[in-house]
């Protein structure tokens, strides 16, 4: 399973699904627009290697690596 965590800087992927059923993380990511079929781009990674900054639906969002694992991409 390919997840957001493995995306390369500057690369864009399409969200397949958000895992972690019933968790606050899942609900938050979905509500912020990381829904299946959304395009998401990794803009940069913080100087110490975590968290990651993504561009989704025209705005910037930072997600920790351990949380990005829950987003399956293609």
Partner 1 sequence: MSNKTIALVGNQNCGKTTLFNMLTGSNQYVGNWPGVTVDQVIGKLSDRDWDIVDLPGLYSLSPYSAEEIVSRDFLMSDEYDVVLNVVDATHLDRSLSLTLEVAPMGRPMVIALNMTDLLKKNRTDIDIRKMSELLGVEVIPVSGISGEGLSELKSAIERAKPATSALNKMLPKKAQDIISNISSHLDLNNAAARYFVAKSLLQGDKLYLKKYESAESLLVEVSRGCAEIQAEFDTDAESFFPMVRYKFIDEILLQCRKNETNRIAEISKKIDNVVTNPWLGLPIFFAVIFFIYYISVVTIGTMATDYANDVIFGEWCTEGAEYLLEQAEAPEWLSSLVIDGVVGGVGAVLGFLPQMIVLFLLLSIVEQCGYMTRVAFMLDRIFRHFGLSGRSVFPILVATGCAVPALMSTKSIDNINEQRITLITSSFMPCSAKLPIMVMIFAAFFRDQAAIVAPLVYFLAIFSIAATGLILKKSHAFNEEVSPFVMELPDYHTPSVRNVILTTYERCRAFVVKAGTIIFATVVVIWFLANFGFGEEGFGMVETDSSMLAAIGSAIAFIFAPLGFASWQASVAVITGLLAKENVVGTLATLLNLSDEDVETVGDSMESIAEVSTPMVDALHGVFPLAVAAFAYLAFNLWSTPCVAALGAMRRQFASGKWFGFAATYMLVYAYCLALVIYQIGGLILGVVEFNVFSVVAFIIVAAFVYLLFKPVPDNRVSLKIPAKNI
Give φ, ψ of 36 to 5 degrees. Answer: -50, 140
Contact status, residue 15 vs residue 71, Cβ threshold 8 Å: yes
Site string for partner 1, 26-65 (x = CB under 8 A): xxxxxxxx-xx-x----xx-xxxxxx-x---xxxxxxxx-
Q: How far is the CB of 11 from partner 1 (least distance, A)?
A: 16
Q: How far is the CB of 34 from partner 1 (least distance, A)?
A: 9
Q: Which residues bind partner 1 (CB under 8 A)?
A: 17-33, 35-36, 38, 43-44, 46-51, 53, 57-64, 67, 70
């Amino acid at each position: 399973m390919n997840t957001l965590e493995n995306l390369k800087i500057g690369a864009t992927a399409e969200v397949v699904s958000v895992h972690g059923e019933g968790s606050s993380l899942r609900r938050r990511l979905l509500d912020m627009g990381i829904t299946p079929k959304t395009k998401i781009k990794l803009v940069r990674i913080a100087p110490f290697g975590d968290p990651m900054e993504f561009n989704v639906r025209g705005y910037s969002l930072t997600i920790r690596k351990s949380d990005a694992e829950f987003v399956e991409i293609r």
